[in-house]
Amino acid sequence: MSDVIPRGSNVNAADSGLGLKGLEAVDRQDALPEEPRQNRQSFRRWFVDKGWRHVVAWVAILFALFPLAYILSVSFNPVGTLTGSNALFQRFDLRNYTNLFNNPDVPYGQWYINSLLIAIVTSVFTVLLCALGAYSFSRMRFRGRRFGLVTLLVLQMFPQLLAITAIFLLMIQITDVFPAIGLGTHAGLIMIYLGGALGVNTFLMYGFFNTIPTAIDEAAKIDGAGHARVFFTIMLPLVTPILAVIGLLTFIGIIGEFAIASVILTDPNQQTVAIGLFQLVSGFQSQNWGIFCAGAVLAALPVMVLFLFLQRYIAGGLVSGSVK
């Protein structure tokens, strides 16, 4: 996996906060190692070369961060309606956050727990199922292997969402026989998600498994280890990075899944944050705006932290996927 952040940049965090004010300082420092000092680089020359890049970058950052800053501001604004939310960062009050957890009509804590539970269980099983599949595709040669790989590749073109009516009717029938895994249950929803577990994930893992030299597991086999032992105690530890990435990507994806969850989970106490927050502002009623923004901040925080923490690996995966 290649690194997204290029190594050429010897910038440390301290001077990275430079705004437009600090441009001249940048100019002088930057010019030193680069150009074998002709004259003092003129501002104009510097601007043509690099300065405008800073301007563009700051405009882009403003564009990227503005909605995020806005919801953070609204979440601390006790007025709590759309109308009263336009003055940014004027007031600081945690009322929206406390309302979120004290309002019986908005069981946010319960939604949060549901979302976490569903996403964690789904990710763990997804990783396990994919690792098993990728291992067999990577290390074994069997009839139907190529066909299997191609089929997975083709199937992932068809999102489960398209079959949502069939999923709904199937779940009604399952409810008749096994209410515990039918409509309205987390177990049922997790099973549906696991249906889409193989596919693109298996491919990412398959590629990674292929980079592990086969000599390692062959040696273990010669030493008498069975296939289960090779898989669990030798292979899995070697591929931990890809397991973590797939697990977290799945986690992030499931936390944000709306359509299937909204069809399967009908009881408000069983629902996830995505459905709950949607209903809170559905019809774009403005009176719940503050509570919604507080809920959005809390819902987005763990996902964003995870993402930023992992962005190098995720980006690396994307990039290595895009570049031959």
Show contacts with another protein in window 238-267 (CB under 8 A). Answer: 252, 255-256, 258-259, 262-263
CA pair distance 132, 134, nearest whole angstrom: 6
- On whether the CB atoms of residues 115 and 274 are closer than 8 A, the answer is yes
Interface stretch with another protein, choices 28-36, 39-47, 90-98, 102-110 (CB under 8 A): 28-36
Min. distance of Cβ 127 from another protein in angstroms?
11
Token output for 219:
């040696």
CA pair distance 156, 56, nearest whole angstrom: 37
Q: What is the 3-state secondary structure (H, E, C) of 237-249?
A: HHCHHHHHHHHHH
- On whether the CB atoms of residues 317 and 252 are closer than 8 A, the answer is no
CA pair distance 124, 250, nearest whole angstrom: 9
Number of residues in contact with another protein, rule: CB under 8 A? 134
Interface positions, 94-123, toward another protein (CB under 8 A): none
Say which residue the tokens 């083709």 belong to: 154
Min. distance of Cβ 113 from another protein in angstroms?
17
Min. distance of Cβ 107 from another protein in angstroms?
18
Among 140, 237, 240, 267, binds another protein (CB under 8 A): 140
> Should residue 234 be labelled a site residue for another protein when binding is judged by CB under 8 A?
no
Alpha-helical (H) ranges within 140-235 are: 145-155, 164-177, 186-195, 200-211, 214-222, 227-229
Token output for 96:
């929206």
CA pair distance 250, 119, nearest whole angstrom: 8
> Should residue 89 be labelled a site residue for another protein when binding is judged by CB under 8 A?
no
Among 102, 103, 211, 269, binds another protein (CB under 8 A): 211
> Should residue 130 be labelled a site residue for another protein when binding is judged by CB under 8 A?
yes
> Should residue 268 be labelled a site residue for another protein when binding is judged by CB under 8 A?
no
> Should residue 38 be labelled a site residue for another protein when binding is judged by CB under 8 A?
no
Min. distance of Cβ 102 from another protein in angstroms?
22
> Should residue 36 be labelled a site residue for another protein when binding is judged by CB under 8 A?
no
In our burial notation (b when 16+ CB lie closer than 10 A, e otherwise), range 178-195 reads eeebbbebbebbbbbbee
Min. distance of Cβ 95 from another protein in angstroms?
19
> Should residue 175 be labelled a site residue for another protein when binding is judged by CB under 8 A?
no
Per-residue mark of binding to another protein, 272-311 (x: CB under 8 A): --x--xx--x--x-x--x--xx--x--xx--xx--xx--x
